[in-house]
Amino acid sequence: MKIDRVEYRLQSFSLSRVVSILSIFQIGIIFLFSYILESIDNSLTEVDFLQNLSLVNIFILSVIIAPIVETFIFQFFLIEFFQFTLNKTKYIKHVSILVAGILFGLTHNYNIYYVLVMIVIGVYFAWVYWFISKWKGISSAFWSVTLIHAISNLIGFIVDELTM
């Protein structure tokens, strides 16, 4: 399977380099989907509930709090729960990654397109968590996904502020 080859190749790098590579890839995914959604309708990438918050509160919420809380719930808790309860199941990796990704996406219910994009991102985060937890352990996986998520949100924050 090709994903196994990707994981094998990534393991030849340091964890910091892997996090950098995966962050760049994730940012590319976000920019691609943002471009597609904005070409359909510019309002599809807006998050309405943030508009009533100060710039500092938006930064704290989106760049610090959300990555930690969402990584805890959707990657750490769900994936570790599935591994604990379904550890003998043949498709545990696929089931836990898909369920975690779908639930992650469904909580970002600003519009149907945003949900679909966030499901893809959620599956990506869940795969990153799974891969790093098997390679370097749970703590490294948790903080790596949190960092990738925070970097992505930081770039989104900066781009949003520059284009306003």
Q: In this structure, how many other beta carbons lie within 10 angstroms of the beta carbon of residue 144?
A: 26
Helix-, strand-, coil-residue percentages of the chain, each rounded to 5: 85, 0, 15
Q: In this structure, how many other beta carbons lie within 10 angstroms of the beta carbon of residue 10?
A: 17
Overall average pLDDT of the 57-63 stretch: 94
Q: What is the pLDDT of residue 135?
A: 96
Q: What is the pLDDT of residue 43?
A: 73
Position 66: which residue type?
A: A
Q: In this structure, how many other beta carbons lie within 10 angstroms of the beta carbon of residue 161?
A: 11
Q: Which of 70, 51, 43, 47 is nearest to 156 (CA)?
A: 47
Q: What is the pLDDT of residue 125?
A: 98
pLDDT at 42 over 80: no
pLDDT digits (tens, 9 = 90+) for 118-140: 999 999 999 999 999 999 999 99
Q: Which of 142, 160, 7 is nearest to 75 (CA)?
A: 142
> What's the whole-model pTM score?
0.92
pLDDT at 24 over 80: yes
pLDDT at 1 over 60: no
pLDDT-derived band at 161, boundaries 50, 70, 90: confident
pLDDT-derived band at 49, boundaries 50, 70, 90: low
H or E element at residue 104: helix 92-106
CA angle 67–68–71, rounded 5-degree value? 75
For the chain, percent of residues with pLDDT exceeding 90: 67
Q: Which of 86, 75, 90, 69 is nearest to 133 (CA)?
A: 75
How far is Cα 125 from Cα 108, in angstroms, rounded to an integer? 14
DSSP class of residue 111 equals S
Q: What is the pLDDT of residue 53?
A: 85
The pLDDT mean for the chain works out to 91
Domain ranges, ordered by start, for the chain? 18-163
